Amino acid sequence: MSEEKEPLVDVPMWDLPVRLFHWLFVIFFATSWIAGQMGERDVHYQSGMVLLGLVIFRLLWGIVGSPTARFRHFLRRPSAALRYVRHAFKERMPSYSFGHNAAGGLMVLALVLLVGLQAVSGMSSTDDVLFEGPLYGRWPNWLGSILEKIHEPLAFLLLALALLHILVIVVYRAFKRENLVRAMLVGRARLPRSVARMAEQDGSTKRAPLWRALICAVIAAAVPVAIHLTFMS
């Protein structure tokens, strides 16, 4: 029986920490972008610090979290991502990937690392009038200059990647009839029974204990708070 004719079943895919991270990331990225465009420096700074904490959390959860959250589960070579992109839309049917596909996994890593770099570059910048980031003047001159100069262009790059991410979701829904948003909302995906059974057998549907997420969240929150209290007090 082919996958598209198999009965679909609900299977656990995204754990609560991943889903909370995802939607908080969306909210605070949008907040930071809008505040930056409107000249709301305090909101821009505060939302950027929250994003830094979220990045740290995701990096930690990518190591100790549930199977689908771990980088080793979804990171592939760029060549694998290119192969996936070349073949993904040859057929108007869902891909039925359990977790991130090869291209999506690289997109996740790129967004997380670039937002982390953006947060650091923002903390290393000044407008020479009202704002001076906590890390401004604390790097070697050449590095501080680079970090300050890349902050604005990097923001536009991140916006482009975010819009590309949204476009891919829309195309998947319209062209491949695959609802990616539902799984990130409820944590469960509708997959062919054979795919679900394989994921269950290799342990990919297991959930890491929430106490691990709590420890990661405390560490993630402590870093930007410590930076602020150390250099802005």
CATH code where residue 42 lies: 1.20.950.20
Give the range of the structural domain holding residue 32, as residue numbers without chain letter. 3-228
In a domain, 233, yes or no: no
Q: Which of 101, 102, 111, 109 is nearest to 180 (CA)?
A: 101
Residue 69 falls within a domain, yes or no?
Answer: yes
Q: Does any domain span residue 129?
A: yes
CA angle 72, 226, 30 (to 5 degrees): 65
**Could you tell me the end-to-end alpha-carbon distance of the chain, in angstroms, rounded to an integer?**
65
- Report the alpha-carbon distance of residue 79 to residue 53 in Å, rounded: 31
Residue 2 has pLDDT above 60, yes or no: no
Total number of domains in the chain: 1
The Cα 132–Cα 122 span in angstroms is 9
Size of the chain in residues:
233
Average pLDDT, the chain: 91
Residue 232: the pLDDT is: 82
What is the crossing angle of helices 102-123 and 41-64, to 10°? 140
Residue 87 pLDDT class (50, 70, 90 cuts): confident
User: Does the pLDDT of residue 15 top 80, yes or no?
Assistant: yes
pLDDT at 130: 81
CA dist 170 and 175 (Å) reads 8
Higher pLDDT, 215 or 3: 215
Tell me the per-residue pLDDT of 30-52, one tens digit each, with 9 for 90 and over: 999 999 999 999 999 999 999 99
Distance of alpha carbon 112 from alpha carbon 107, whole angstroms: 9
pLDDT tens-digit series, residues 101-146: 899 999 999 999 999 999 999 999 998 788 899 999 999 999 999 9
The answer as to whether 209 is a domain residue is yes
Indicate whether 194 belongs to any domain: yes
Give the span between the Cα atoms of 183 and 168, in whole angstroms: 15
Residue 209 has pLDDT above 60, yes or no: yes
Give the bridge partners for 11, in sequence order. Answer: 189
